[in-house]
Amino acid sequence: MDIYEEISSIKQTQEETLALLKKLHSDGVVENKGKVYDLTDLVDILHVSKRTLFKWKSAGQMKFTQIGKKLFLTNSELKRFLETHKQN
């Protein structure tokens, strides 16, 4: 197996894992407190650009988890971020 096939295999495994996690969550197997969001989810939820998310990450305002090259934010970290940046 050459390097390109290996990379393709890894990418496919990552996509399958993410799809399984999302299915488990939608089926109610994973409780909401354990939910994870990818960047696309966060763009939709927070109505900001990916660039803004990366700025917050660089500034240490959001603590992402990285799996491979993909970034995720846990539900508890999102709640912490929102609570910290809440305006009266």
**Residue 85 — very low, low, confident or very high, per pLDDT cuts 50/70/90?**
confident
Total domains in the fold of the chain:
2
Q: Is 21 found in the same domain as 45?
A: no
Contact 51, 45 (CB under 8 A): no
| Whether residue 45 sits in one domain with residue 24 | no
Binned at pLDDT 50, 70 and 90, residue 25 comes out as low
- Report residue 49 CA to chain centroid gap: 14
Question: Is the model's pTM score more than 0.75?
Answer: no
pLDDT at 46: 94
Domain that holds residue 43: 31-88
Query: What is the per-residue pLDDT for 60?
Result: 94
pLDDT in tens, 30-58: 555 568 899 999 999 999 999 999 999 99
Please tell me whether residues 13 and 47 are part of one structural domain. Answer: no
Q: Are 65 and 79 in contact (CB under 8 A)?
A: no
Please check whether residues 35 and 6 belong to one and the same domain.
no
